[in-house]
Structure 1
């Protein structure tokens, strides 16, 4: 699913994702018997072709709209003219992405094999001071190399602190500390 939800990965690895889903369904039947093969399980065999046809699963799923309903409800303050109220609240919403230094929001994938955490934002927000992690090693190697879905493991020894342009912070990540000097970065694949 991590492959199928990301537009760039779908283009390159849809066939591989399909093979993994077929393997999952076959092994599920072996482990849990024929009753495992319900309609929802069978549908998984077609989801890779849907993702390939539409660009990714996000383009043919209603989940993002269902999830966004709570946000829309908060924009309506009375029962009168709800559509106009939502439109006005959306116009009031700032369009610029805010860079955060909070631990839960400060991680990014910079480029292949490099990640960073934001430590400080300059006054004009044109540059950010980051701890840049390099020399990743895989989080897992099976069923595929973790780098394929944007999962990296780093040792903090391989870091430098430097100012980088804000424009390089395009791909959010989740950073997890697993040991004193070891961090995991997981790419957020389904940003809206």
Structure 2
């Protein structure tokens, strides 16, 4: 695979650009004059966030998988490794909960994977699929991207902001180490820009989910469904949207809620004390009968670049008789979990995105 791309081979942290210098055209290498946006009071450095859907999912994650599947010899998987990856993917089909619009697809379809599928691999399935396939060092390098993005996508402001510095460090390590594992053609502008994602989370005091293109991408499905024929599609969409705006029923559309059932894969949750619960029965009085594994009863999925239990990624036994059966109120649930089959048990990961 031969590419002609601008690459960024410099390692480490360079001095960041600031609005103070930008506002006076203090970067003559690319500024000819003061931008009209500056005169309008817009901060051109801090107020233009990077979109992780395009930058990381469709950019870095797809590039990494492409290099593993058919890239340079330095990183291309062997035939046996590719077969193992395909086998690992097949064991996860139909295992993802209702918040995922697509189940894992074959790597042979990689060119047609959507952004949600690449996010799915990066945050949920990839740490299982690539474990024991890649070398330890290369696997830990991938986990730097997975864990770093998990931190920046966490909805808990307190937890996310307390680990922002760590997320920045491991994402920087991912970018700087990419040349060693994937060769000098790998670190393009997309890869380099990952270093700045933690700055956006800090500047906007929010999860990257709140400043990404995913909501707009998902809304395109709604717009497409308004078109009934090939004749004047724009007129059809405009009329249907106008009708919705004029009706109170559509103006007050209910928000989507998390789906919880007493059957897998939609019965796994985290409780407020980080215990893992499997809902067995939803009772008429609103309480839930649940089998619970305490955090101390769970194992870590990985130890590097950090202990996975630090971010609620853990392994539990498939033998639910080892769990403690309790009754709880729904208010005791912290968040829904993704429960995936792994060896003789389950890998439990926090759900970090809204329904697709």
Change (3 A) 1:48 1:176: same
Equivalent residue of 2:277, what SS?
Answer: strand
Structure 1 contact 10–52 (Cα < 8 Å) conserved? no
* CA offset digits 1:118-138 (Å, max 9, x no partner): 1111124x2011111122221
TM-score by length of 2: 0.48
Q: Distance in 1 between matches of 2:153 and 2:240?
A: 35
Q: Which residue of 2 aligns with 1:117?
A: 278
Q: Which residue of 2 aligns with 1:130?
A: 290
Instruction: For 1:1-192, list aligned pairs within 5 A.
Output: 1-8=149-156, 9-54=159-204, 55-71=206-222, 73-74=224-225, 76=226, 79=236, 80-85=239-244, 88-89=249-250, 91=252, 93=254, 99-124=260-285, 126-134=286-294, 135-155=297-317, 156=319, 158-180=322-344, 182-191=345-354
Change (3 A) 1:190 1:94: closer
Structure 2 contact 259–266 (Cα < 8 Å) conserved? no
| Number of aligned residue pairs | 189
Change (3 A) 1:10 1:49: same
Q: Distance in 2 between matches of 1:36 and 1:95?
A: 39
Deviation at 1:7, TM superposition (A): 3.3
Q: Distance in 2 between matches of 1:169 and 1:81?
A: 39
List gaps (5 residues or longer) in structure 2.
1-148, 229-235
Runs of 4+ residues deviating >6 angstroms: none
Deviation at 1:92, TM superposition (A): 5.3
**Cα-Cα RMSD:** 2.6
Q: Which segment is superposed worse, 65-74 or 18-27?
A: 65-74
Of Structure 1 and Structure 2, the greater strand share is in 1
Deviation at 1:40, TM superposition (A): 0.4
Q: Which segment is superposed worse, 182-191 or 150-159?
A: 150-159
Q: Distance in 1 between matches of 2:175 and 2:350?
A: 26
Q: Distance in 2 between matches of 1:131 and 1:176?
A: 17
